[in-house]
């Protein structure tokens, strides 16, 4: 009986130990799961806090200048700090970004577009370029699929194209990046452009921007300083 009792006791102890290890394993698994959930939650929170809004429909890229210089040229009144994400939303007359990879982005409701007035667009860009040097312009209307792009140096247009139901601006020699991304351009008076062509150009404006300078929606934010630009209304225009 003693031997039998010993065997029973050992068996019970074995079962208890097995159950203990199982419970310990479950507790460790639960803790690991909670840590993973917390890590993923933190990653999602960081990603959301740095997520950029959709790219603006119209923007200007200025090379090798400071935010303060652009502010002075645009004569911004009561300029206030403005986040990169809020600035790209287009709710200000002008938003001037901090320098990103050697470029300053200007966007906002104050920028002209060729759909409204191509001559005003030309005059605005040439005046801006005379003061700031190398200036690039991009426009892509989500509603109408109208589009435009331009490059200027010291007030002179080196390349520009704008389509607003028809070609309204075609100046300079087509650049290699335009050819590489497959932009479709037409001479003045040519009515052969299709809605598919307009859609193609609309989709590829950001690709051209990234080759000429940068695409605002693809900018990598490397520091908190890069998140803050300035916004305000202009007394220049």
- Least confident window among 21-30, 117-126, 127-136, 204-213: 21-30
Q: State pLDDT tens for residues 161-207.
A: 999 999 999 999 999 999 999 999 999 999 888 888 999 999 999 99
* pLDDT attached to residue 195: 86
Q: What is the edge-to-edge ordering of all strands in the sheet holding 103-107?
A: 76-83, 228-234, 94-96, 103-107, 58-63, 135-140, 147-153, 156-163, 167-172
Q: Name 76's Cβ contacts closer than 8 Å, sequence gap at least 6.
A: 94, 96, 230, 232, 233, 234, 235
Average pLDDT over residues 129-146: 95
Q: State pLDDT tens for residues 8-30.
A: 555 555 555 565 556 555 555 44
What is each CA distance from 206 to 107, 148, 177, in whole angstroms? 14, 11, 12
Q: How many whole angstroms separate alpha carbon 66 and alpha carbon 96? A: 10
**DSSP track, 71-137:** HHHHTEEEEEEEEHHHHHTT-SSEEEPPPBTTEEEEESTTS--HHHHHHHHHHHHHHHHHHHSSEEE
To the nearest whole percent, how much of the chain has pLDDT over 70?
74
Mean pLDDT over each residue of the chain, to the nearest integer: 82
The larger pLDDT score, comparing residue 49 to residue 116, is at 116
């Amino acid at each position: 009986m003693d031997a039998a009792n010993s065997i029973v006791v050992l068996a019970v102890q074995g079962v208890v130990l097995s159950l203990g290890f199982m419970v310990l394993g479950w507790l460790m698994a639960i803790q690991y799961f909670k840590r993973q959930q917390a890590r993923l939650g933190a990653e999602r929170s960081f990603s959301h806090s740095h997520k950029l809004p959709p790219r603006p429909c119209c923007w200007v890229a200025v090379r090798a200048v400071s935010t303060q210089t652009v502010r002075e040229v645009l004569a911004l009144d009561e300029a206030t700090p403005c986040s990169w994400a809020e600035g790209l939303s287009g709710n200000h007359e002008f938003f001037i970004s901090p320098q990103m990879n050697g470029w300053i982005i200007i966007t906002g409701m104050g920028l002209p577009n060729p759909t409204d007035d191509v001559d005003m667009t030309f005059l605005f860009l040439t005046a801006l370029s005379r003061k700031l040097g190398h200036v690039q312009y991009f426009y892509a209307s989500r509603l109408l699929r109208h589009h435009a792009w331009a490059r200027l140096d010291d007030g002179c247009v080196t390349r520009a194209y704008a389509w607003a139901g028809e070609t309204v601006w075609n100046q300079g020699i087509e650049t290699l990046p335009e050819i590489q991304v497959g932009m479709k351009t037409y001479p003045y008076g040519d009515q052969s452009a299709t809605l598919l062509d307009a859609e193609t150009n609309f989709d590829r404006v950001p690709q051209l921007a990234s080759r000429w300078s940068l695409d605002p929606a693809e900018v990598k934010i490397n520091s908190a300083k890069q998140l803050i630009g300035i916004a305000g209304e202009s007394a220049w225009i």
